[in-house]
Amino acid sequence: MTADELASELAQAFPSDSNDLARLHARLTSAAQRDGILDVAYRTVDSPVGPLLLATTEAGLVRIGYASEDHDAVLQSLADRISPRVLNAPSRLEAPARELGEYFTGRRRSFDLPLDWRLAAGFRRAVLSHLPEIGYGQTASYAAVAGLAGNPRAIRAAASACATNPLPIVVPCHRVIYSDGRIGNYLGGPEAKRTLLSLEAAA
């Protein structure tokens, strides 16, 4: 028996199957939470605009990521910017998952979730914090949004705040379009933006 065969015999003698690992992962998640070291918890949910990554800190929902952003890349940037103590912990994200589900089925018009704004700063954050003032099913121009944030001429900066919104959907940057009616860019792609706007128009 060669060393490799022996190693494979030993691996069989001491199995570690996916059920065991899932159970241990859940145990690790609750222990980490109990000890206050689960800095970033995440899960994914399916939606009409594709799978969404939801991430939360102790302070609140911190990031919603579209598949087009590459969820692994989003998780890496959360590890870099917030903390590498990141675990897949669906139970920590039950409320956002439920509210998004209600939104996508037309039963919810605004979100009632604690938000962690740390990934947006300065004027961008000011812009984003005013977006919930645009009502469900309404749209506003980038110029109007710049005005809400206190600088009506900062149209480009308002557009860039929307383009880098860490919390799309919940912070409704999809409701911001050009004043000539063009739909404009969107983190999740223009198709996703159209889907959200028609969902809200229909409800």
Contact between 202 and another protein by CB under 8 A: the answer reads no
Our CB check for another protein shows the closer of 3 and 202 to be: 3
Our CB check for another protein shows the closer of 62 and 134 to be: 62
How many CA atoms are closer than 13 Å to the CA of 139, on its beta-carbon side? 20
Q: What are the backbone dihedrals phi and psi of residue 165, each rounded to the nearest 5 degrees, phi first?
A: -60, 120
Q: How many C-beta atoms lie closer than 10 Å to residue 18's C-beta? A: 8
Our CB check for another protein shows the closer of 67 and 144 to be: 67
Q: CB under 8 A: which stretch of 2-10, 126-134, 157-165, 188-196 binds another protein? A: 2-10
Contact between 45 and another protein by CB under 8 A: the answer reads no
Contact between 61 and another protein by CB under 8 A: the answer reads no
Q: Tokens 């989003």 identify what position?
A: 74
Catalytic status, residue 173 = yes
Whole-number Å distance between alpha carbons of 189 and 194 = 9
Contact between 67 and another protein by CB under 8 A: the answer reads no
H/E stretch holding 27 reads helix 18-34
Contact between 203 and another protein by CB under 8 A: the answer reads no
Q: Any idea what DSSP says for residue 115?
A: B
Contact between 16 and another protein by CB under 8 A: the answer reads yes
- Locate 111 and state its tokens: 């979100």
Contact between 70 and another protein by CB under 8 A: the answer reads no
Our CB check for another protein shows the closer of 97 and 144 to be: 97
Please identify which of the residues 40, 173, 196, 199 carries the catalytic annotation: 173
Residue list 75-104, contact with another protein (CB under 8 A):
75-76, 78-80, 83-88
Listed in order, strand segments (DSSP E) in 15-135 are 40-45, 52-56, 61-66, 86-88
* Long-range CB contact pairs, 37-40, < 8 A, 24+: 37/85, 38/85, 38/87, 38/89, 38/92, 39/82, 39/83, 39/85, 39/86, 40/78, 40/79, 40/82, 40/83, 40/85, 40/86, 40/87
Our CB check for another protein shows the closer of 44 and 129 to be: 44
Binding residues for another protein, rule: CB under 8 A, are 1-4, 6-7, 9-16, 20-21, 24-25, 27-28, 31-32, 35, 37, 40, 42, 75-76, 78-80, 83-88
Catalytic residue IDs:
173
